[in-house]
Structures are given as structure tokens and as C-alpha cells.
Amino acid sequence: MKKILLSIVFLQLLSSLFAQVDGGNYVLMGRSGVGTTMTTDYQCIGINPANLGLKTKYETKHVTLGLFDMGLGFFAQGVTNAQFREYVVDPLTNNTPLTPSQSIDAANLMKNNAINFNADIMILGLAIQTEKLGGLGFKISDHINGYGAYRGDFTSFGYSGALSTVFFDSLTLSNNAVVPNDPNNYNAYFATGIQSGSSSVPISLGQIVNGSKTQHHYYRSISASYAKKVWGDELFSITAGVTLKYIMGYNYLDATAENNRLSGLVAISPSFSQGDTILSNVPTRENKGNFFTPSGNGFGADIGITGMIKENIKFGISLLNIGSVTYTTNANKLRDTVFSSATYETDAFENLNDLIYWDAVSSFKVKLPTMLRIGGSIALLENKLEVGADVVIPLNDAAGNLNTNYYAIGGDYYIFRWLRVSSGLNMGGNFANVVEKYKTTVNVPLGITFIVGENGGWETGLATRDIQSLLFQGSKGVNPSLGFGFFRFRF
């Protein structure tokens, strides 16, 4: 289980897990996550349930079914595509650790940067919408969310381990000679062999992690929603909706250090605790694991309101993820440790593995990542163009939440009846860095959707969160991402 936690930290150092306001929905992804008033049918579950009560664009279709929509993405602030390949992709692909000089370069590159990864999978979505009854929705989704930002001391130790010049002033060689920790002499040291690094003063793990932040939450939500128009006429109307969720929590990590003292909570599902790393622990028949064995359970709710003027101007507000998860299986509290030496490992992350300890607890309770969404939109050109703007505000610092406000503008344009193009601009959220005074990047997404069949019977599409990162190789802030959905049907 310790190596599972280590692999989570490793993934977050390279591409930390983070919350996305689009929930992996390719339609929202393509228009910057703008959706408080622009999402419809089951896609509005988790965004604004009130939109289930609005009229659909396809008047003869009242049932929408979707299967296996997915959104994946990496984000590494301050890193170019070439650097990302050198320090992340190539070592993983070739299964070769970084050299000591590469480790130093990688640590300097990654320090004080926001570095992210996300995966959201909608397994099943279903919506039934009628003017008299309102809208009913059901959705099952998996969410891997989180955020990581690391100060230079942590990246130095994480990448260099016992060779970190920040913490270890001397090295012990295989012939028991004690020599200065001087990178200029590493070739000679490696010729003899390096046993360990030593510090003249004790070091705590909290001292290494101090000022850094690591959060990760993997959970499944099973959601049921209802919405209906509660007031109004053809000129002005108000629709209200609610979502109730059952939460199955699989993996949780929240580790921080203040005043050089480490604290945190961690829980790993039994399904993921059979082998060495989280990457090799997908539940299978052989390891007797399954995705129905969570380490925690809980409940959540969303509420929302949408107002509409003359059917083309909309404004809305929603409060999302009100609730909590209680972890009872493999629940642990991280323990700070003090040491003065570390064994040299070719893979420097093994040094973290040697130093991370925890104490079992009976249970712990954590909040869901609660957010407030406020947005509006307007339809123009006989509904061929719809543009909108959203602000998403995190209301707590729970694992998986945004670390600051997210701002977005975006829209959809129907080039033809069967072809829709989406784009926009966004900034903030987890593209902003907490250790660099919330310095942020500005992203330009792009989405393409094909609508096939009579009155939108089948829909499929692709999107990316930032077309700049794909087109401009020298762009600072690598952000490869992909959202797609191939099985979206209307009846």
C-alpha cells in the first residue's frame, strides 16, 4: 500500500490530479467549461440540474442516452512540450530513470509550478424531458480529481533523493569513504558506488514538504436528478432542479505541511491494494478486486436555478457537491518522520517510499469539493450561435476542488445543421498556481461535434482544453487533453 501512495505522489509530481469544471464532458470542454445555462439533458447533472427542466432543442426527442463519455488531460505549468517529453514521457516509455543531472534540471523546472492530470468517465447517462412532467436524469460517473503544487525543496528531494544537495551535504561510498555531495564529482562517485546521503543536522519529512500541497480524490457518483419550471410564461420563466448522489470513494490523499510539520489523511480501496503500485492495481478476476469495493461511502446533493427571457437569454446559479464521504477501510493518518540519512536509490522516489509512514485510524470524514457556479448565455442568429460566460467559485479546500476561482467565456456555432464548432477562453481554477501567487495561464479550447440522423438522433464529438498546447511546441504550460463521446443518442 505504501508504494500505491508513492505512485500517487509520483503522478502528481509529473502531472498532478486536478478538478475540472467540465467534468470530462466533451461538449463543455470545447467551450471552456461554460455550462451553467448551456448544458442540457443528462450532461447538466453535476453542472446545473435546473437545465433538465428546459425545453430541448430537438422538439420530437424526449429521451437522451449516453455511454462512456470521457475526458483526459495533463497540465504542467511552465513546462514546454519538449521538456515534458524529456523529463516525463521518455523515461516512462523507455523505463529508464533520469540521470542525476537530469534530475537536478527536472527539479528546478518543476519547482513552484502547478502540475496536473485528470480523468473523468461517464459510464451511463440518461434523461427524460417533457414539458408537463419536467426533466428526470440519471448518471453514473467516475472522477479522478486533485491538485498539486510543490516548492523547490520537495522537488529537489523527490527527483534527486539521497543526492539532493538541498538536504544532504555528504555521501557515503561503497568503500565506506565519506565525501562531499558535489555533483561535479558524481562520475567518480558512481565508479566507486554510492551507498547513502547524509545530513549534518536532522531533517523532517515536514521540512521537505513544507509549503507544498498534494491532494487526490478518486470516487464514483451515482446521481439522480429532477427539474421543472416553477414559475413564468413565454416571456420569462424560472426552472429549479435538484440532484441526489450516492458516493463510492476509492482513493483519497490530502497531504500538507505547515511550519515544517507534515499532516494528512490517506485511504486506498482494497481493490487497489493487492500489488506494488496503483498503475498495476486495476481490479481483475485474478486479484479478486472489483470496482464495487470502495474504501468509503457518502452522499451528496446539487441544487440549481435557471431563468430564461424570451427563450434566448438565460442566467443561472448552482451549488454543487454538498455532502461528504466517510472512509472506513484502509483509513490512515500520515505521520511525520525525522532522519539524517537516506539510502541511495536509482529511482529517487524510492527514498520517499522509505520515509513515508502512517497510523491506522478507524475512520475519517471528508467533504466533497463544494462549488458555486454562476453563469449566463444568449442565443443569436436564429439559434445558430450561443455564447455564454461562467464563474466557478470553490467553497472549500477539499481534495479535488479548484484552488481558486475559474473564469470562462465560450460558445457554440452551428456551421451546418450537422456540424457544431465550440471554443472560448478560460483562466484560473487549477490552472493557477498557489505557490506563485495564483499565477495563471489562459487556455483556448476547441471542440467539434457531429449531429447525425433525423432531428439529432446520434451525436459524436471531440474536444481539447487548449489548442495552443497542441499547435505551439514552445508554449510554456504543456496542456495535452482530449474529451470524446461516441455513443450519445436521442429518441
C-alpha cell at 24: 470530462
Pair 278, 251: CB distance under 8 Å = yes
Residues 6+ apart with CB under 8 A from 187: none
pLDDT of residue 432: 63
Closest by CA to 359, choosing from 435, 286, 265, 261, is 265
341 touches 197 (CB < 8 A): yes
Question: Is residue 2 scored above 90 in pLDDT?
Answer: no
Among 363-372, 409-418, 470-479, name the one with the lowest average pLDDT: 470-479
Which region among 149-153, 240-244, 245-249, 283-287 has the lowest average model confidence (pLDDT)? 283-287
Domain spanning 2-490, CATH architecture:
Beta Barrel (2.40)
What is the pLDDT at residue 67?
A: 94
CA-to-CA dists, residue 393 to 301, 317, 374, angstroms: 17, 11, 8
Around Cβ 438, how many Cβ atoms within 10 Å? 14
pLDDT category at 401 given cuts 50, 70, 90 is confident
Provide the CA 328 distance to its chain's centre, in angstroms.
24
Q: Residue range 363-390: average pLDDT? A: 95
- The pTM assigned to this predicted structure is 0.85
Residue among 464, 480, 479 nearest 33 (CA): 464
Count of other CB atoms within 10 angstroms of residue 472: 12
pLDDT-based confidence at residue 7 (cuts at 50, 70, 90): very low
Mean pLDDT value across the chain = 84
What percentage of the chain has pLDDT greater than the value 70?
Answer: 85
Mean pLDDT of 281-289: 43
- Side-chain half-sphere of 247: how many Cα atoms within 13 Å? 31
Task: Kindly report which listed range (57-61, 223-227, 443-447) carries the lowest average pLDDT score.
Answer: 57-61
Residue 178: per-residue pLDDT: 95
> Smallest Cα–Cα separation from 48: which of 9, 16, 86, 22?
22
pLDDT (0 to 100) of residue 114: 66
* Residue 244 clears pLDDT 70, i.e. is over it: yes
Question: Of 8-12, 201-205, 356-360, 451-455, which range is least confident?
Answer: 8-12
Model confidence at 280, in pLDDT bands (50, 70, 90)? Answer: very low
Quote the DSSP letter at residue 11. H
User: In this predicted structure, what is the pLDDT of residue 261?
Assistant: 86
Average pLDDT over residues 218-234: 93
pLDDT, mean of residues 84-94: 76
Helix (H) / strand (E) element for 9: namely: helix 2-15
Cell of 149: 503544487
Q: Looking at residue 152, what is its pLDDT?
A: 65
* CA distances (Å), origin 458, targets 126, 286, 451, 491: 14, 38, 6, 9
Neighbours of 380 (CB within 10 A): 12
pLDDT digit string, tens, across residues 23-64: 778 999 999 999 999 999 999 999 999 999 998 888 888 999
Bridge partners (DSSP) listed for residue 236:
309
C-alpha 84: how far from its chain's center?
18
In this predicted structure, what is the pLDDT of residue 468? 81
Distance, CA of 164 to CA of 345 (rounded, Å): 12
Asked if residue 478 has pLDDT above 70, the reply is no
DSSP string for 108-132: HHHTTEEEEEEEEEEEEEEEEEETT
pLDDT tens digit string along 307-327? 999 889 999 999 999 999 999
Q: What is the pLDDT of residue 354?
A: 74
Residue scoring higher pLDDT (166 or 273) = 166
pLDDT of residue 477: 63
Q: Please check the confidence at residue 306 and state whether its pLDDT lies above 60.
A: yes
| Rounded average pLDDT over 240-251 | 95
DSSP strand pairing (481-490 vs 458-464): antiparallel
Q: Using N-to-C axis directions, what is the helix angle for 2-15 and 152-160, rounded to 10°?
A: 120
Round to whole Å and give the CA distance between 65 and 490.
Answer: 6
